[in-house]
Amino acid sequence: MNLHFQAPGFGPAEDGLSPVVFPPGKSRQSAHHNPANLLLDDLLRMSKLEMIELLWETEPRMHRLLTESENVQQARNNMFNYLNELERIYFNIYVDHRLSELHDLEKKQAKWCVRVFKNIIRSENEKLAHASSLTLLWKIARRQPRALSEVGEGFLCEMIFLSLGINGKFACNRHKTAPEPAATSEQDAGVRRSMLLDRYAAQIKNFVSRYHCGLDEDVVRIHRKQRRRIMRHFGAGETQWNDYRWQLDHIITRKDQIEQLVELTDLEREGLDLAHRHNIPMQITPYYLSLFHPEANTTLDRAVRAQVLPSPRYVMSVVEAQASGKTMDFMGEASTSPIQGVTRRYAQILILKPFDSCPQICVYCQRNWEIKELDDCRVNRADLENALQWIEHNENIEEVLVTGGDPLTLPDETLRLVLDRVAAIPHVQRIRIGTRTLVAMPSRITDKLVEMLKGYQQWGRREICIVTHFETGLEMTPEALEALRKVRNAGISIYNQQVFTYYNSRKFETFYLRKLLKRCGVDPYYTFNTKGKEETSDYRVPIARLLQEWTEEARLAPGLVRTDSPVFNVPTLGKSYLQSWQDHEIVQILPDGSRVYRFYPWESMLVLASPYLFTDSPIFDYLHRLQADGEDTNDYNTIWSYF
């Protein structure tokens, strides 16, 4: 029999709403007896009314304070008094009734949650974000008309977990076991610790066994079969296939070309049709297309396809932005360019952009607003010369990142002209080359190119290195590995900047990639939060997931593997390191559950620079998407505890 009960203040008598109905086999006691033990799968299935019931059961005192408040300002005062009281309890060693119940880690989490709660009810932050979490809570508690329609499940989930948090309850509580007897000796303690670490290692193996790389024998067979199919389509032989100039001459730009070689989903066809109709450039190298699985809707190649096949939502977001006159320069590069072809955000390094195209266009690219198709792109020698002279005359510049576009798209002769000029500048101590050809067109890494790059390495005086973008293990193929081997054998370091997107954000997926890269001679460098542009919404992942990955998954890897740092690239200002509360804070939670962050500039301790407001993707929506893709969302239970 279904159990019927009504959430406090909601029901037919007041609002004409239906009573809460739990599914068969569930009861209020079984679902809510201990809210801290609630599984995410249970929560994601709840209605708004059930979530409200859980919220007030989690925090009855907050419910009473809000209900008794005649207006929002009174509610604010009452809430601050309550949160300040909690904070005093957690810091006060002479108060025993709560401290005796909480572990030190639970107290630590409670302090962070109190801080977040106080932040989101501050009037200053309400003005900044043009929203008020407190007003929504007050309306819900006082049964205001239309309160339910104003709030989303994502908001209610955030409030539930914040309420659990301020009381020292968070997801890892459900993993508690009965205390073990004290160790009888130091060796016994060491054995027990080793057994715990073995359990961690078993967990790692269980997760990473789901992932594949392009070096796996079965994957290699699929890729080789697909490569032969593409070669037959173009009438090419092995020599042509392995010539990067042939790859550039046969860049794939149309849906009909792709459909002759791989199966597409309806959504992929729609996105490609819209991109063609609205002149949104799409480029894929024949080599990278060979990494596609010939069949559609497989989980094996989803991260590969998603990088280069524009979705309908992406295309229409770009079209709407262009029609409105809104700038596509999300990172504000125009305002950090002292001269054409140069971007400078830091004191001693700058970006030099000699070329504005790539063999392959990544949908989520932060510079996709200025990337042109290969046929429309040329090196502007006058602009390049002016940029090089500007660098020559500024002795503060000690490092130059040559990127674009992809500079390795250029012929050796043109690339040599650029690098010769940069290397001739006495104060330049390092030349970086930003390129994805190692991933998208590894045949570009010829012996001749490597020998040329090696010539710019002067031990003790100047370094040359490569920064690339591996996003998934499927991109590490025998061809890519050979290209990496050539570069590393020349004494040139290679660093990876992964963009943390929905398509590589599953549990231990980035952990798997880090370890693979390190074995192949690539040092993990940065893990970027996906840019907050509207057109990249299909790729975006909540900041909380990136923090969770770094704290819970990356931390289990050896130190030489987890050398990357999770960062948010703040428009116009540069990278903000996400591990530090000094660099960012939550200022509001919107009705749909989006967190609004205030990011402080990297130079905030050096100059009074204005912060940047960012609206993140709702955690609730991300988890729902994972669930729809077959993930066990209970594996992500602690995500709400990261800010």
* Range with lowest mean pLDDT among 323-332, 523-532, 569-578: 323-332
Query: What is the pTM (predicted TM-score) of this model?
Result: 0.90
- For the segment 474-513, what is each residue's pLDDT rounded down to a tens digit? 999 999 999 999 999 999 999 999 999 999 999 999 999 9
* Residue 23 confidence (pLDDT): 34
Confidence of residue 464 (pLDDT cuts 50, 70, 90): very high
Q: Is pLDDT at 296 greater than 80 in this prediction?
A: yes
Tokens of 140: 């819900």
User: What are the boundaries of each domain within the chain?
Assistant: 4-175, 217-317
Mean pLDDT of the chain: 88
- Give DSSP secondary structure letters for 10-48: -SHHHH-PPPEEPPTT--HHHHHSSGGG--HHHHHT--H
- pLDDT confidence of residue 381: 87
Residue range 585-610: mean pLDDT, rounded: 91
The answer to whether 211 and 205 are in contact (CB under 8 A) is: no
pLDDT tier at 375 (50, 70, 90 boundaries)?
low
| pLDDT band, very low/low/confident/very high, at 380 (cuts 50, 70, 90) | confident
- 130 with 194: CB under 8 angstroms? no
Where helices occur in 447-531 by DSSP H, the ranges are: 447-454, 478-489, 509-519
Per-residue confidence at 40, pLDDT binned at 50, 70, 90? Answer: confident
What residues does 432 pair with on adjacent strands? 401, 465
Q: What mean pLDDT is predicted for residues 41-51?
A: 91
Distance separating alpha carbons of residues 568 and 457, to the nearest angstrom = 31
Q: What is the pLDDT of residue 25?
A: 35
Please give the residue that has the higher pLDDT: either 38 or 439: 439
According to the model, what pLDDT value does residue 33 have?
Answer: 47
| b/e per residue 307-333 (b: at least 16 CB within 10 A) | bbbbbbbbbbbbbebeeeeeeebbbbb
The answer to whether residues 215 and 476 touch, using CB atoms and an 8 Å cutoff, is: yes
Q: Is residue 165 very low, low, confident or very high in pLDDT (cuts 50, 70, 90)?
A: very high
What CA–CA distance (Å, rounded) separates 506 from 235? 39
Measured CA to CA, the distance from residue 611 to residue 573 in angstroms comes to 9
